[in-house]
Amino acid sequence: MFSTGDFSYPLLVGVSGVQGSGKSTLSYSLCKQLREVGIACKCVSLDDFYLDPEERAVLASKFHPLFQQRGLPGTHDLQLLQGVIDRFKRGEALTLPVFDKSIDRKLPKSKWREVEAGLQVLIIEGWCMGVEPQPSDELASPVNQFEQEFDKDGSFRLQVNHILCEEYQAIFSQLDSLIYLNGMSFDRVYQWRLQQEHMLKASTGKGMSDEQVRQFIQPFQRLSVWGMQSLPNIADIEVCLGEDRAVLQINTQLGE
- In order of their start, the domains of the chain are 4-252 (3.40.50.300)
Q: Which pLDDT score, from 0 to 100, does residue 7 have?
A: 59
- Which residues, at least 6 apart from 6, have a Cβ–Cβ distance to it below 8 Å? 254, 255
Structure confidence at residue 210 as a pLDDT band (50, 70, 90): confident
Mean pLDDT, all residues of the chain: 93
Give me the pLDDT at residue 6, please.
56
In the predicted structure, residue 26 carries a pLDDT above the cut 80:
yes
Do strands 94-96 and 247-252 pair parallel, antiparallel, or not at all (unpaired)?
unpaired
Question: Is 70 exceeded by the pLDDT of residue 256?
Answer: no
pLDDT beyond 50 at 59: yes
pLDDT level of residue 4 (50, 70, 90 thresholds):
very low
